[in-house]
Amino acid sequence: MSDRYCVFGHPIGHSKSPQIHTAFAAQSADTMTYTAIEAPKDDFAGAWREFVAAGGRGANVTVPFKEDAFRLCEELSPRARRAGAVNTLVLGKDGRTFGDTTDGIGLVRDLQYHGVILAGARVLVLGAGGAVRGVIEPLLAEGPAEVMIANRTAEKAAGLATDFAALNDGQTRLHGGGFDAVTGPFDVVVNGTSASLGGDLPPLPDDLFAPGATAYDMMYGAKPTVFLVWASERGARPVDGLGMLVEQAAESFYQWRQRRPDTAPVREMLRQALTDNA
């Protein structure tokens, strides 16, 4: 009998996770199945318990359930505890549920895949919601010279910087503020806002990017987001979040199977599918 895994979301029909994990499993001929489950908005915990009762061993969790997943876990990784959210559930041999967040690792590994050097860099992160909260710790671990968190609500960005101050060893200037406090140039700008979903753009200065800078949008699609188009026009190299999706999935797969899949062919497969459907 094959091990069962899934991704929970609401809605979930758009998810590429089944395609990604099926491809990962095929690399090592793993006997496992991976499906998408639309959990009821008011009973995520019940959906997880039902899945476990049917033989489920682990799951990915996407919106709007990452905080629900955090609350149901009996054990949490330190990074998940600090992020306040969980995107990876692992059923232990003792029947206890362990939760982790792999989004930040996915972002850092994707930036590294694209040749971005974070050590000593000036990094700007746009937004202060759950998506951003999950990536601050891995970014700090790379030793940038500066990480600024910018948000429409300055107090929320400043509070987020304060929450992670204890992880800063002093070599990184970590701070937060409003969009009006942003002064470039930055080497890496990460858009973690939901503005791209609506075709909007945060209010940013034109001199945001240093020479050779990378503009990264956590969103992705068949066409560049508004943010990436804007950044390209100002000389930055655009990178979307498709690779982050694959890399965070690879870390989840490792948590479950203790094997690290080759992400390159899966990236190529998904990118080609986006191109074909454009």
Instruction: Write out pLDDT tens, residues 147-192.
Output: 999 999 999 999 999 999 988 777 899 999 999 999 989 999 999 9
Tell whether 16 is in a known binding site. Answer: yes
Q: Is 47 annotated as a binding residue?
A: no
Which helix or strand (DSSP H or E) is residue 68 part of? helix 66-72
195 pLDDT band, cuts 50/70/90, is confident
* In the predicted structure, residue 218 carries a pLDDT above the cut 70: yes
Q: How many CB atoms lie within 10 A of CB 217?
A: 25
Query: What is the helix (H) or strand (E) element at residue 217, kind and residue range?
Result: strand 209-217
Burial class from Cβ neighbours inside 10 Å (0-12, 13-18, 19+) for residue 233 reads exposed
What architecture is domain 104-240?
A: 3-Layer(aba) Sandwich (3.40)
CA distances from 14 to 48, 183, 221 (A): 20, 37, 12
Annotated active-site residue 223? The verdict is no
Q: Same CATH topology for 3-100 and 104-240? A: yes
> Per the annotation, does 168 bind a ligand?
no
pLDDT of residue 108 exceeding 90: yes
Buried-exposed string 151-189: b where 16+ CB fall within 10 A, e elsewhere: bbebebbbebbeebeeeeeeebebbbbbbeebebebbbb
Q: Which of 41, 66, 93, 223 is catalytic?
A: 66
- The full set of domain ranges for the chain reads 3-100, 104-240
Q: Are 219 and 197 in contact (CB under 8 A)?
A: yes
The two tokens of residue 176 are 């937060």
Question: What is the spatial distance between Cα 5 and Cα 31, in angstroms, rounded to a whole number?
Answer: 11
Homologous superfamily (CATH) of 3-100 is Leucine Dehydrogenase, chain A, domain 1 (3.40.50.10860)
Distance (Å, rounded) from C-alpha 51 to C-alpha 4?
9
Tell how far CA 77 is from the center of its chain.
16
Burial of 150 (0-12, 13-18, 19+ CB in 10 A): buried
pLDDT of residue 181: 96
93 appears as a binding residue in the annotation:
no
17 is in an annotated binding site: yes
Is 87 known to sit in a ligand binding site?
A: yes
pLDDT tens-digit profile of 15-29?
999 999 999 999 988
Q: Determine the residue type at 16.
A: K
Q: Per-residue b/e over 116-142, b at no fewer than 16 CB within 10 Å?
A: bebeebbbbbbbbebbbbbbbbbbbbb
Q: How distant, in Å, are the alpha carbons of 22, 48, 88, 126, 189 from that of 255? A: 16, 18, 8, 29, 29
pTM to 2 decimals? 0.94
User: For the residues 71-89, what does the mean pLDDT come to?
Assistant: 95
What is the reported pLDDT for 278? Answer: 66
- The two tokens of residue 28 are 């090592």
d(C-alpha 102, C-alpha 14), whole Å: 20
